[in-house]
Amino acid sequence: MSTLPNLSFFGKKVLVTAGPTYEKLDPVRFIGNYSSGKMGYAIAELFADMGAEVTLISGPVNITISHPNVKVVKIESALEMFNTCTQLFSAIDIAIMSAAVADYRPEHYSETKIKKQEESLTIHLVKNPDILKTLGLQKRENQILIGFALENHNELENAKVKLISKNADAIVLNTLNDAGAGFQHDTNQITIILKNGAIFEFPLKTKKEVAKDIAACVLKLL
């Protein structure tokens, strides 16, 4: 006898951000990071399997997803991710912000390739908008907003501050201190902090299994 699919998120519109952002310097160069997008893609797939209508806002990654319930919007920069997320958010029930968004971008973009000249080159950076924080300000009572935090010291304290300052409903904390966790890996080790103060620590698992733990926490918040 086959088991019925778990469609707990049927009828829910879910936004997931994934991957890095690329902040362009000139036509051939950018400032980026090592995020693979694997965590966000696993979350998007799981929520879609559980019946949600998912929009996945993805930075440049080497993975693909093909699922009838997942619409992928490809972006490159933090500003593009910001514009897409803020446009879509009012129609969203659950937003999970797992992208590794660049905090800064080059102030100037050079239309032509930057030439090798002096012994040193200074690139001036300006702050990107904080997407999670902006959505936190726009959030209505019935919307759920989940942020990620990647910390390597005072992890729990920093994550709790983030939860409050960004008006999130939960923060998924990844530490850089665990072998096999985080960027590029297929596994991750997380702690979830809910806004009511509850803390759930999980062992190292595949990102697919981690996505299930995140989904279970979201169900508690619904």
DSSP assignment letter at 196:
T
Please identify which of the residues 6, 33, 83, 158 carries the catalytic annotation: 33
Size of the site for ligand C5P (CB under 6 A): 14
Q: What single-letter DSSP state applies at residue 90? A: G
| C-alpha span between 173 and 221 (Å, rounded) | 17
- For the bound state, the minimum distance from the C-beta of residue 133 to ligand C5P, rounded and expressed in Å, comes to 7
User: Which position among 70, 148, 160, 182 is part of the footprint of ligand C5P (CB under 6 A)?
Assistant: 148
Which residue, 48 or 102, is less far from ligand C5P as judged by CB?
A: 102
Question: Taking CB under 6 A as the rule, does residue 130 contact ligand C5P?
Answer: yes
What SS3 state is found at 75?
coil
Burial of 51 (0-12, 13-18, 19+ CB in 10 A): middle
Q: Are strands 144-151 and 94-97 parallel, antiparallel or unpaired?
A: parallel
**Quick one: 16 exposed, middle or buried, by C-beta within 10 A (0-12, 13-18, 19+)?**
buried
Tokens, residue 63:
């993975």
Using rule CB under 6 A, residue 23 touches ligand C5P: no
Comparison of 77 and 187: residue with beta carbon closer to ligand C5P: 77
75 binds ligand C5P (CB under 6 A): no
Check binding of 131 to ligand C5P (CB under 6 A).
yes
**Residue 33 is among the residues annotated as catalytic for this protein:** yes
User: What does the binding site for ligand C5P look like in residue numbers (CB under 6 A)?
Assistant: 17, 78, 97, 99, 101, 103, 128, 130-132, 147-149, 162
